[in-house]
Amino acid sequence: MAKLSEYSAKRRFDATPEPGPVVVEGGGGPLMFVVQQHHASHMHFDLRLECDGVLKSWAVPRGPSLDRNEKRLAVFVEDHPYDYGSFEGVIPPGQYGSGEVIVWDCGVYSPDENGLWFHDREEARRQVREGIEKGKLSIQLRGEKLKGSFALVRTKEARQWLLIKHKDRFVTSDDVIARDRSVLSGVAVEEMKVVPAQRMPASQLVPAGKATPMPADLEPMQAETADAPFANADWMWEPKLDGYRVLAFVDANGVRLRSRRGLELAKIFPKLAAELRQQASAGAILDGEIVAFGTDGKPSFSVLQNRFQLKTERDIAAADAATPTLFFAFDLLYFEGIDLRKRPYRDRRRYLSQCLLPSPLVQLVHADEDGPALHAAAIAAGFEGAVGKRKDSAYLAGKRSSSWLKVKPTHSAEFVIGGFTQGKGARGALGALLIGYWEGGKLRYASHVGSGFDDATLAQVQERLQALWARSCPFAGKPEVNGPVTWVKPELVAEVSFQRWTEEGSLRAPIFLRLRDDIDAKTVTREDAPAGKAGKPAGKRASAFVGGASAPTVGAEAPPTKAVRRKAGNEDVAKTIDEVVAQLDAAKKTCDLIVGAHRIRLSNLDRVYWPADKALKQPDLTKRDLLLYLAQISPLMLPHLADRPLTMIRMPDGIHGQRFFQKHWTQEKPDFVDTVTVFSEHRDQRHDYLVCNNLPTLLWLAQSGTLEFHVWHSRMKPGPDAAVPSTDFSSSLQALEDSILNFPDYVLFDIDPYIYSGKEAPGDEPELNTVAFEKGKEIAFRLRELLQSMSIEPIVKTSGKTGLHVFVPIVRNLDFDGARHVSELVSRHLARLHPKDVTVEWSVPKRTGKIFMDYNMNVRGKTLNVAYSPRGTAGAPVSMPLTWEELAQAHPLDFRMTNVVKQAARTGDRWRDALENKQDLARILASGKA
């Protein structure tokens, strides 16, 4: 604790989200470094080096530089806790260092003046302590942005140091600070005020844990086959390279390059092995692909195979000079004492990006969440296709797993050659290959393949087969073929493309592609052509709204989720929803949508309503996307809309175009749309309100540009909980006041943060910011505690923006005046209990910096955005019902149109049941408990 006394003295941990002053003892693996970008009173960067359980820290006002001619001032500041390394978020106003923070870069580091010590933690720490004490510390950084050797040199001023880049291959005059996004969340620092902070333990930032010996031998993990790429936030995609799959073992004894067949390739590619030797001091295992390029600049397997046949050092050296081979790394299985195979792919990918030292011959494979885009780019670049990997998947050495999926333009697989038929005419001795695969210890016949050969490949294959002639058939059952057959030992592997497997177990339209010397024939088993593998969406767009709550994505699962369909109430409604989704998925820009017995004319389906937002990882969202979302969420949303007068917020040109409120409807409308006529208390008039009681109405409103749905707090249907039976809403003001519409279903507490981000224009309302929402959550929990002390149980939902809506469901025997009075009394009492945080003042200056409790929302005719309604703001957030446990970890942008259907299916019934658990507030008040 003494190490962090200065850090602790500057902070109030009940007011800041920064981690507490905990020194982390022990640990294993390389030392961690972090660079955080911090937008406090001025923008600066903080360099932090792990040592002795804390982070030694320097504030670098202009940030690090990779230009060795740049000497950057680095001010030595107080030690920070180890857990600060992963801190991203907003330090609230009034707290030390208030402002936004992102992890700009992170990785491992080692003192490098006397060699590298990534593998020896104790020696590395000793040298760091010694260097800081002497005022000169030389280190190698391995981060995603900062790589190579740097010096920290103390000046005559005790706390002022200089950060200087040493000369190495990573020196550049390019401005590395221009790469301005977090390596963890992908957001820029100025976006952190609205993007929810997703914390991870600092121990996950870099390879860490108990040191173990490096495995001496492993086999690579393999992918199953899929028929198409997809975009899903739970998956990443890499180009499928056309080369030799290799595991690179790097240790103090040198480099071993093991092929899938178990062949040692280091002597065949000595220059590549020499480059890989620089990747580790004591131990590393890299999974990757050796690739050669043709004269057209595209990968060429034939060039690689020709290179593989070279034997003499002279020929190999000449080939290295003429046609160099590259190693593309796509996984890191072990690094300097830490076995990483059980870590999720998302972490291994980050560790690989950090630890790999790229060179002209050793490169990091690009990866992206957008599978279709990456697949298209990979094909255009001459690669084979794409490989998708689940972010949470462990590395299953030697196994084929559906956690990895490979997609090619045509299906291809490896097969064992068991014989060949006699050729005719110009084909010579070889007519067609007889191929198969191993199953249950037996070689199963798959097909014969006679196309795909040219003169060169015919001669090559024939020459290789001559040495393998055998007396007997190697297949479990003798294939039926026309003509004489020569059997061969099943030791040679051919790659074959084909359309599909037939029901009889044969290949349809097989074509020979090439021999695969890098694959062991004993490992070849059947790979089925895909029939919809795990992770693949069933439709192009229909699955856009069923991902996990933390990751908005288009194309996640089959639409709609079964859990939501069950809530439709009956199979007919569920079937209608599925039919709507299928039509929208296939529709052009204009169509007639059939919804049960009704028809809705849809137009401009590709009009963008929510433009893409890079910070929020949100693609363009169109009218089509809105309709898909509403169709799938309708079983949960419609009960909250039913029988309530509706106010629409229409944005027919999207969220950046004109928007307008519409309460009354005077235009023509379809027959399926219900209305209610209500007397106006402000004018002696009657107005028609729309009522959204069914799916066709909901979709028709979306076609009309309605992005937000706001409803009254009362319903127009009487029931057993109603104090009055009257449904006369239109004959007079008195009739309206005596009707059931004057008795709300709940008392509302509108929690409205008036805490500004500091980026608003003069006169603007507070924009969405994390500090404001966190304070709103705090007050919501205090309100709940107060209400529970009165024997009243509330429920909560997000507004979809910065605020929260807390409800007390009530029996309808309290009119709007009574509900407003209760809300005011409780809100004023809460303000008295917490005067620094809560206010009921209407004056903007008096409520600035506080949570405004707007009890005047409890008025007849006032409306509130309904549960699950989208909001017309960036990110397409929705008003999300939550349990109190969920609220504790929530942020408004956790719940967006693109990701809430699945979570809503899990929690929607609980919240709806709670809303229907009506409390007799009049009786509670009369009893004196309140």
Q: Which domains does the chain have, with CATH numbers?
A: 2-204 (no CATH), 222-407 (3.30.470.30), 411-523 (2.40.50.140), 562-916 (3.90.920.10)
**Side chain identity at residue 781, one-letter code:** F
Best CA proximity match to 890, nearest among 802, 831, 807, 809: 802
pLDDT at 835 over 80: yes
- 731, 724 contact by CB (below 8 A): no
Other Cβ atoms less than 10 A from the Cβ of 817: the count is 12
pLDDT tens-place string over residues 754-805 = 988 777 777 778 888 888 899 999 999 999 999 999 889 999 999 999 999 9
**Side chain identity at residue 766, one-letter code:** P
> Among the options 145, 147, 193, 240, which is catalytic?
240
Show the tokens assigned to 230: 């997809």
Percent share of the chain, pLDDT over 70: 94
Other Cβ atoms less than 10 A from the Cβ of 143: the count is 22
pLDDT at 816 over 90: yes
- 148, 171 contact by CB (below 8 A): yes
pLDDT band of residue 245 (cuts 50, 70, 90) is very high
26's CB contacts (< 8 A; 6+ apart) are none
User: What is the number of residues in the chain?
Assistant: 930
pLDDT band of residue 533 (cuts 50, 70, 90) is very low
Name the E strands within 408-441.
411-421, 433-439
Percent share of the chain, pLDDT over 90: 65
- Rounded distance, CA 332 to CA 218, Å? 13
- Rounded distance, CA 870 to CA 867, Å? 9
pLDDT at 493 over 90: yes
764's CB contacts (< 8 A; 6+ apart) are none
Q: Which of 35-44, 123-132, 630-639, 763-772 has the lowest mean pLDDT?
A: 763-772
Instruction: For residue 465, give the H/E element and its range.
Output: helix 455-466
pLDDT given for residue 528 in this prediction: 67
Q: What is the DSSP string of 181-211?
A: B-TTT--BGGGTTTSPP----GGGSSS-S--
pLDDT tens-place string over residues 667-698 = 889 999 999 999 987 767 889 999 999 999 99
- 124, 28 contact by CB (below 8 A): no
Main-chain phi, psi angles of 81, to 5 degrees: -65, 155
- 642, 908 contact by CB (below 8 A): no
pLDDT at 145 over 50: yes
Show the tokens assigned to 774: 């966190």
Name the E strands within 187-282.
222-225, 235-240, 244-251, 254-259
Q: What is the DSSP string of 811-849?
A: -BTS-HHHHHHHHHHHHHHHHHHSTTTEE---SHHHHTT
- Rounded distance, CA 660 to CA 680, Å? 20
pLDDT tens-place string over residues 166-222 = 999 999 999 999 999 999 999 999 888 888 777 899 999 999 999 999 999 999 999
pLDDT tens-place string over residues 621-649 = 999 999 999 999 999 999 999 999 999 99
pLDDT band of residue 103 (cuts 50, 70, 90) is very high
pLDDT given for residue 505 in this prediction: 81
Whether 406 is a known active-site residue: answer: no
Show the tokens assigned to 423: 């050729």
- 687, 730 contact by CB (below 8 A): no
pLDDT given for residue 928 in this prediction: 63
The dihedral formed by the CA atoms of 559, 562, 565 and 566, expressed in degrees to the nearest 10: 180
Best CA proximity match to 492, nearest among 423, 547, 551, 443: 443
* Average pLDDT taken over every residue of the chain: 89
**Side chain identity at residue 477, one-letter code:** G
- 772, 752 contact by CB (below 8 A): no
Q: Is 200 exposed, middle or buried (0-12, 13-18, 19+ CB in 10 A)?
A: middle
- Rounded distance, CA 449 to CA 509, Å? 8
**Side chain identity at residue 162, one-letter code:** L
pLDDT band of residue 535 (cuts 50, 70, 90) is very low
Please give the angle made by the CA atoms of 687, 862 and 657, to the nearest 5 degrees: 85
Highest-pLDDT range among 288-302, 388-402, 446-460, 909-923: 388-402
Best CA proximity match to 623, nearest among 584, 665, 674: 584
- 251, 385 contact by CB (below 8 A): no
pLDDT band of residue 714 (cuts 50, 70, 90) is very high
Q: What is the DSSP string of 328-345?
A: EEEEEEEETTEE-TTS-H
Greater confidence, 134 or 768?
134
| Average pLDDT score over residue span 254-273 | 92
pTM reported for the whole predicted model: 0.73
